[in-house]
Structure 1
């Protein structure tokens, strides 16, 4: 708490401007004040009732953003880079970190304050309007019962899981949409739907095909293993150590992990390492060698080869990539 108080004293309080229309229909933009850094918000509204928000910025100094939530919100957040603290009038402070995805809901008329340190920030939000929420919940209200109950209680609710490799791939495609105009709008809407399906599958793994079902207790163990890998990517435990940590046999852990994430333990760790390295390089705060070492690659040539195989470019080409405008 002392850390948060000291940080607040150094923060520049700002009020973001209202979204402005762009040349692309149903796309709006909020620019960050140039004195504070580069970047801002891109907001897309789709006929399906989904709203996609991409926030990408590089801040020159810590900032504090106060706001008021006017309408009830239900949706999903994906923090891909940076971290920040959120304060609200209904709940204790929440720290949001890179690599987290969350199912979130918030009732109307809630005041909030975001404390954001000086760094590279990349967040994507996928919000659901009332009609699409009702259509998804119809016949299986358990999907959204935590959100609906929290709205009734006038409280903010947040259920956190790691961003999976499948989600990362879809998020990457959203950030690098290959089309413009109507084709681009349709592409982004389809990817937003794809992202929604990945998140629903993560929240309710038992709703998949029969041969992919995983017991809830085993699913929670797999999620914990993924968190261990993310938090120890420089020097990760081996498979046997992971299995002992969560009380599963090695073979069952490997089988359940693949069923939940669609990749092996090794592939999950490799993908997370390379995605993290990519974010570090784009932040402009490290060079290629530092990025490789930070994510656990001691062999530079092996890192470069793996990076190019995943992203199609050499790691050095991503240095000082400008923020999305």
Structure 2
């Protein structure tokens, strides 16, 4: 079955004279109830909400026409996409994990997305007409390419990633758990939260642009780093050593370690450790494993060492998580909000 999502932005850029229109086509979604929930909150601005067990979401084939700029807040879930676009020399891979803020810009793109079934899905996405976003950005971030304005930061780059900060997490949780409002009051609630997200995202966007976010990276190096990240994501339970990983990616060890940290804001060890702890959380919380079983599953022989690593990641002892499976939602959200 194929499901199509079309969103008319209702935003007319000065001089353009035409309404923007976003088009998405999803294949493999047998139940419309499991498609993302799209909420128009203002002309050219939308919220998208995805929640529920990952098994509800099949592998999705997608085709994107005139795409908005997307700010995706992933509280829980792990997504893997392979995509292509006109003129691209080869397919590219992109991975998104929990506690991640991803800024994306895809134009005339198609590909496939799969979702890790071991983690529940909890995502909030803010989508904005790129012409509208340009109004909030400083002039040096806008370039004129053959008579068409473009956001300079995205030239040759589809995604930017940041850790999910507490302010964004708090707003995303409010959107996922709205107050008991109806009609215009609920619409105003979503509008207000969308504008809070947009304000913070523009701030982060400009900050990243100021730092450059590795604009000097050559396409080959960017692909090699993405390949290294994909290898670690797939094999985090038994990751290759840095020398082996460097050889597999065609890089020397110094360049791999330096550019991996600069590109993904994490050392290789910390990246792998984070994936292991996320898997352990899912095993204890979702699969009802014991602490020792979870420790063994992610490669720890010493349970005490595992408990210290788990507490460092989530600010909670795994034994407490296991005993208190009915932790109230606010307490759980507060704990996750402190996770790095």
TM-score (norm 1): 0.55
5+ residue gaps, structure 2: 1-27, 83-92, 144-149, 180-187, 331-340
> Is 1:306 aligned to residue 309 of structure 2?
yes
How big is the alpha-carbon RMSD for the aligned residues of Structure 1 and Structure 2? Answer: 5.5
Quick one: distance in 1 between partners of 2:210 and 2:261?
Answer: 13
5+ residue gaps, structure 1: 1-10, 17-31, 33-39, 87-94, 108-113, 148-157
- Structure 1 residue 303 displacement after superposition: 2.0
Q: Following superposition of structure 1 onto structure 2, how do residues 56-135 of structure 1 map, counting pairs within 5 Å? A: 56-58=51-53, 73-77=68-72, 80-81=76-77, 99=97, 103-105=104-106, 120-129=120-129, 132-135=132-135
* Pick aligned residue for 1:245 from 238, 248, 251: 248
Could you say what secondary structure the match of 2:300 adopts? coil
Quick one: distance in 1 between partners of 2:189 and 2:56?
Answer: 37
Could you say what secondary structure the match of 2:53 adopts? strand
* Pick aligned residue for 1:229 from 216, 227, 232: 232
**Contact in 2 for aligned 1:56/1:121 (Cα 8 Å):** yes
Quick one: distance in 2 between partners of 1:185 and 1:290?
Answer: 45
Quick one: distance in 2 between partners of 1:321 and 1:300?
Answer: 23
Quick one: distance in 1 between partners of 2:51 and 2:327?
Answer: 12
Quick one: distance in 2 between partners of 1:198 and 1:247?
Answer: 32
- Structure 1 residue 256 displacement after superposition: 1.8
Quick one: distance in 2 between partners of 1:219 and 1:117?
Answer: 24
- Equivalent position of 1:155 in the other structure: none
Quick one: distance in 2 between partners of 1:213 and 1:236?
Answer: 26
TM-score (norm 2): 0.53
* Pick aligned residue for 1:53 from 43, 48, 67: 48
Distance 1:192 1:97, change over 3 A: same
- Equivalent position of 1:21 in the other structure: none
- Structure 1 residue 131 displacement after superposition: 5.0
Distance 1:320 1:285, change over 3 A: farther
- Equivalent position of 1:209 in the other structure: 211
Q: Following superposition of structure 1 onto structure 2, how do residues 175-324 of structure 1 map, counting pairs within 5 Å? A: 190=196, 193-194=199-200, 207-209=209-211, 213=214, 215-217=216-218, 218-284=221-287, 286-316=289-319, 317=321, 319=325
Distance 1:278 1:297, change over 3 A: same
**Contact in 1 for aligned 2:71/2:126 (Cα 8 Å):** yes
Task: Tell me how many residue pairs correspond in the alignment.
Answer: 269
**Contact in 2 for aligned 1:52/1:127 (Cα 8 Å):** yes
Could you say what secondary structure the match of 1:126 adopts? strand
Listed one character per residue, the Cα deviations across residues 110-161 of structure 1 (whole Å, up to 9, x for unaligned) are xxxx9989873333322114553332496232547779xxxxxxxxxx9468
Distance 1:82 1:269, change over 3 A: closer
Distance 1:131 1:300, change over 3 A: same
**Contact in 1 for aligned 2:53/2:117 (Cα 8 Å):** yes
